[in-house]
Amino acid sequence: MKDILTAPFMVEMIRTATNMYAHGWDERNGGNISLMLEENEVREYLDPEKALRTILTGFAAPELEGKYFLVTGTGKYFKNVQYAPEVNLGIVRLKDRGQQADLLWGYADGGQFTSEFPAHMMSHAARLKVNPENRVVMHCHPANLLAMTYVHDLDEKQFTRTLWQMCTECIVVFPEGVNVLPWMLCGTNEIGEATAEKMKTARLVVWSQHGIYGAGKDLDETFGLIETAEKAAEIYMKIAHLPRVNTITDDQMHLLEKRFGVKAREGWLD
């Protein structure tokens, strides 16, 4: 077997977690990432038949049975992932209709996956129905997006339009917009179900006064998606108290649609 710490998916996961911490998105043990892996990827580094232990998931996701995931651990600090990946990360395979997970590697201190694991898995299931290439769900706490939820209308259309108006690339990067949830208790199946429902129509879901969920086909895409929305929110928070002299108009955004071959969410542009 090859050394799993040299696996491309492991190297990229460690780099991404480290970068997210460096951006200030994942203070302390805030935030979590799950990356779906293919069985042939895993078999190069692990024997899937040799489970270290079984962990109860607390929910059912029959459509994900047999799927493999590399997931950050509960209570783990992103700043430590690069120094002790085998403690802060784990690889699991879902079984029993998703109600249990075999631990194949990691959580070496006896820990387990993030408390947001149900929300991640429900979001994976929802996004796979929209895009079969989806592999990543990422949750973090970008300061400007959080700040925006305190001072901006939480109507999804209005929230999205504001972000689109802040930076030319926004409508190109997330033409489907951003969905928004009101404050909800985290770590519950209820917030997981609500997030998954929102994931049916957008790859970004804001948790008001908490953070954001992003989904994508790989770690780079998902990181960049959140990064773009956060940059737009930063610009908004810098100018929200000032009179708006200029903006990106709807006509200009229609030009961007044509230029980049994207389509804004139906009815969200005039």
pLDDT for position 12: 98
Provide the annotated active-site residues: 116
**pLDDT exceeds cutoff 90 at 151:** yes
Burial environment of residue 15 by CB neighbours within 10 A (0 to 12, 13 to 18, 19 or more): middle
Q: For residue 58, which of 202, 187, 163, 186 has the smallest C-alpha distance?
A: 187
Cβ atoms within 10 Å of 23's Cβ, excluding its own: 15
Q: Which domains does the chain have, with CATH numbers?
A: 1-114 (3.40.225.10), 116-264 (3.40.225.10)
- The pLDDT > 90 percentage for the chain reads 97
pLDDT score for 1: 82
Q: What is the pLDDT of residue 32?
A: 96
- Average of per-residue pLDDT values in the chain: 96
Q: 68 pLDDT exceeds 90?
A: yes
